[in-house]
Structure 1
Amino acid sequence: MSDKYTPPKVWTFSEGNGGEFANINRPTAGSREEKKLPQGEHQFQLYSLGTPNGVKVTIMFEELLELGIKGAEYDAYLINIGEGDQFGSGFVDINPNSKIPALLDKNHGEEIRVFESGSILVYLSEKFGKFLPKDPIKRAQTFNWLFWQMGSAPYLGGGFGHFYAYAPEKFEYPIDRFAMETKRQLDVLDKQLANNKYIAGDEYTIADMAIFPWYGALVKGKLYDAAEFLSVHEYKNVIRWADELIKRPAVLRGRVVNRAWGDEDQQLHERHSSADFEKIKLEY
């Protein structure tokens, strides 16, 4: 490691703190500019980016549409977090925490604002009666694993991913600490999937939709270019489950919505109808 760091008695913000997101990170909340959000014709307006947290919700919408539920049609607009779009007044009005995804349900004139990916998944599940079991035991299991993901992924993304992929300098201690925790989490999933087809049992639920964009992507080599480093081949049950999910057309569609990097033929910056996928390569 480089020079030893001794924390001061009182922390102060420094704009030159480095890292990929140093230009937008601040220790304060709230909007930074007046910026109205666009709206389409559908009841649901999604403002997001194709990161793992954003993909959870677009998979959910596409799964609902795959079932033929026309009321689940939605408009998806790109929020470029690298440019600070999440700090515009319109976005902050939906999500005061300035994180994607954010959902506006126009609800026939009575606007409902929903933020946090897990909250959006539950909201849509309850609204349409899909992907959240009614049986109390299965329902509890689904919530257990949904909230497991919400509590665990920050260690994968904000912990391992940050220090392994985004930090301006590589330090052994944080990478080692969060690699260990990421592998422990993968082992938790692998043991659960050893005896279950899906995360919460024999039914495909919002728990799968929440966990797949993070841990499924990780074992398929799509996250942080870290598959070899983390020896993800060890987690055979997680790989089996991920391979099962990428056969689902809705998962493949949801993965490309609001995607703004990678191969151009796998990017759909905005989504307003199923016709928008006609020129997109839907493969994992």
Structure 2
Amino acid sequence: MIDLYYWTTPNGHKITMFLEEARLPYRIKPVNIGKGEQFAPEFLKIAPNNRIPAILDHAPIDDGKAVPVFESGAILLYLADKTGRFIPSDLRGRNEALQWLFWQMGGLGPMAGQNHHFVQYAPEPIPYAMDRYVKETSRLYGVLNKHLADGREYIAGEYSIADMACYPWIVPYERQQQNLDDFPHLKRWFERVRARPGTERAYAVAERINSAPVVDDESRKWLFGQDASTIR
């Protein structure tokens, strides 16, 4: 059994996508980040960066004590290695999947996240920041679109953790002020991933946990107003 510490964010969706695809037994431990539950001491023991998702694997492959893992990319890789699924076994295929996993972790996620913040959540509009991150999001869409232009079905050939990492960050494309019609190869890939039963099940889980995400003054305090004093 795997405990999944989860909330309905793109990074949270990555892990439910894997777990649903692999049909691994798991139980969700909701961490409502709008109420500050990510700063609870019990959660910080598993996720010291006070971010979801995190897992606690009670059945690791070495049959030892439960293994905690935080950071969504690390969790995807851990689960892929645990199951031997959704990551190519050959050297070149594995390397390609990992490159795109790290591309998402270091590029698409952070840049789209800043896009979300300055376009959707900042208390006042900052045109330079909005323009900067909307354009950078567009550039990253273009990078992935070009990669997919050779007609491949998935990012690393076969469906992998690279697709699971990237897809949830494309889902809010309209909020990111992007038009998928401008990226036809990405759009084809996006629709293919969206139609997978595992993806459908993962997003159905999100609806049961938090069907109407709200950012208000209280949640802004927890989401955007923290410094080092919070975790001391």
TM-score scaled by structure 2?
0.85
Does the CA-based 8 Å contact 2:38-2:52 persist in structure 1? yes
Please state how far the C-alpha of 1:198 moved relative to its aligned partner. 0.8
**What secondary structure does 1:113 align onto?**
strand
1:243: which partner in 2?
A: 191
CA contact (8 A) 2:180 2:186 kept: no
The answer to which structure has the higher helix fraction is 2
User: Which residue of the other structure, out of 111, 114, 137, is the alignment partner of 2:66?
Assistant: 111
Q: After TM superposition, give the deviation of residue 109 of structure 1 in Å.
A: 6.3
Runs (4+) of structure 1 exceeding 6 A deviation are: none
Question: Structure 1 residue 144: deviation in Å?
Answer: 0.4
Measured against aligned partners, the alpha-carbon deviations of 1:98-152 in whole angstroms (never above 9, x if no partner) come to 0000100123661111000000000010011000111100010000000000001
Alignment counterpart, residue 112 of structure 2, candidates 156, 162, 166 = 156
- The percentage of aligned residue pairs carrying the same residue is 42
Secondary structure of residue in 2 paired with 1:148: helix
TM-score computed with the length of structure 1 as normaliser = 0.70
195, 203, 207: which one aligns with 1:255: 203
Which residue of structure 1 lines up, in the alignment, with residue 180 of structure 2?
Answer: 232
Residue 232 of structure 1 and its aligned partner are, at CA, apart by 3.2
Q: Does 1:218 find its partner at 2:172?
A: yes
The CA deviation string for residues 149-191 of structure 1, in whole angstroms up to 9 with x for no partner, is 000111111x111000010111110000111100000000110
Q: How far apart are 1:236 and its partner, in Å?
A: 1.1
SS in 1 for 2:56: strand
Q: Give secondary structure in 2 for the equivalent of 1:218.
A: coil
The answer to whether structure 1 residue 199 and structure 2 residue 155 are counterparts is yes
Where do 5+ consecutive residues of structure 2 fail to align? 214-232
Cα displacement (A) at 1:230:
2.7
Residue identity matched to 2:111: Y
Query: What is the total number of aligned residue pairs between the two structures?
Result: 206
Query: 1:123 & 1:134 partners in 2: Cα distance?
Result: 14
**In structure 2, which of residues 28, 31, 39 is the aligned counterpart of residue 76 of structure 1?**
28
CA distance in 1, matches of 2:95, 2:172: 26
